[in-house]
Amino acid sequence: MTNTNPSLIDKLKEHCQIRHLSRSTFESYAHWIRRYYRFHKRPPRELNAQHVHEFLVHLAQSSMSASSQNQALNALVFVYDKVLQMPLGDIGAFARAKRPQYIPVVLSVEEVQRLLSQLQGTYRLMAQLLYGTGMRVMECLTLRVKDIDFDNRKIFIRRGKGAKDRITLLPHTLRPALQAHLLVRLNVHQCDLRTGAGQVYLPDRLRFKYPKASREFIWQYVFASAVIRSGFRWHASDTALQKAVQAAARRAGIHKHIGCHTLRHSFATHLLQSGADIRTLQDLLGHNSVKTTMIYTHVRVDSKVKSPMDRLAPLAEANVDGSVLANGNELKCKLQESMRSSP
């Protein structure tokens, strides 16, 4: 706890746990409190709304992104209001930074097929689930055995973003691979138990209410880490999955900036293109407002709408060497090859 009051960080962690905030939320809040302390070189308890205003202005002038500015503001308001019990009130003429509206990157069906073909083993199964269910990365990684309903083809997502539960689809085509994967997990879990390990983290106070549940297979993570720490087997690494997906995209020659979340965007867009109802999609994605889901309606472009440039196609093609048009496939192959060879 360098450069800040350790007791304040401890209290912050306690308040985050009481309100069931995620670990990542606590870590981001702690990060901004440390930066706030380093900026003023005084404990937050000795500061007030004017100091918060100065810090936020400093972030804005340093070309900080809108999301980071808002995150810093949320952290400071939370600490002063809930932890220090010193509500800030009016912090002056500082408005929340306006986040730019953006259109998510979406893969075509053919690009999804190419991407998945470049993945192997567990990484491939996880990527298939991300695309087939619309889950977020951490929702997939923290999925437990008991939350998969093979008979009714459902997946129960517990405490997703905003601490909300919801139900999503279990793709029929993934049932055999997922069942085979769980058989392997069962064998690994039984080996863990024989060695005195085999525990798994349980949320809230369930470990006290059900003291034996942490060793039961139904509570185990579907995608578990290969490493056991202090007798516990945690879920797989999100960083490793992100790197695997990005490397697969390079090998597949996909010229887009993508990550695991791109598969969620593609799931939503392709469902809309197949005629799914926007309200149904909202429930599957776990959005609070249908306005958030509506962004995927802007991703679609009606194939019947033609660019006015296409009316000039004969004239435009007349100015292009025929050999260039004929070698379009060769150009595509060379681009893909260059992507594969890039670091």
- The Cα 343–Cα 339 span in angstroms is 8
Q: Catalytic pick from 80, 131, 221, 296?
A: 296
Q: Is 264 a catalytic residue?
A: yes
Look up 136 and say whether it is catalytic: yes
Q: Where are the alpha helices (DSSP H) in 195-304?
A: 206-209, 238-251, 260-273, 278-285, 290-293, 295-299
CA of residue 241 relative to chain centroid, distance: 11
Any residues with CB less than 8 A from the CB of 39 and at least 6 apart, and which?
55, 58
Catalytic residue among 136, 185, 250, 265: 136
Structure tokens at 177: 């691979």
- Among candidate residues 35, 161, 207, 251, the one labeled active-site is 161
Is 161 one of the annotated active-site residues of the chain?
yes
- Residue of 181, 207, 255, 261 with catalytic role: 261
Asked about 194 being catalytic, the answer comes back as: no
Q: Evaluate the CA torsion angle 310, 315, 320, 321 in order and state its sign.
A: positive
> Look-up: residue for tokens 């706030």?
36
DSSP class of residue 105 equals P
35 is catalytic: no
The one catalytic residue in 51, 264, 265, 270 is: 264
Region for 231 from its dihedrals, namely left if φ exceeds 0, alpha if ψ lies in -120 to 50, beta otherwise: left
The DSSP secondary-structure symbol of 100 reads: P
Q: How many CB atoms are closer than 10 A to CB 59?
A: 20
Give catalytic residues, as residue numbers: 136, 161, 261, 264, 287, 296
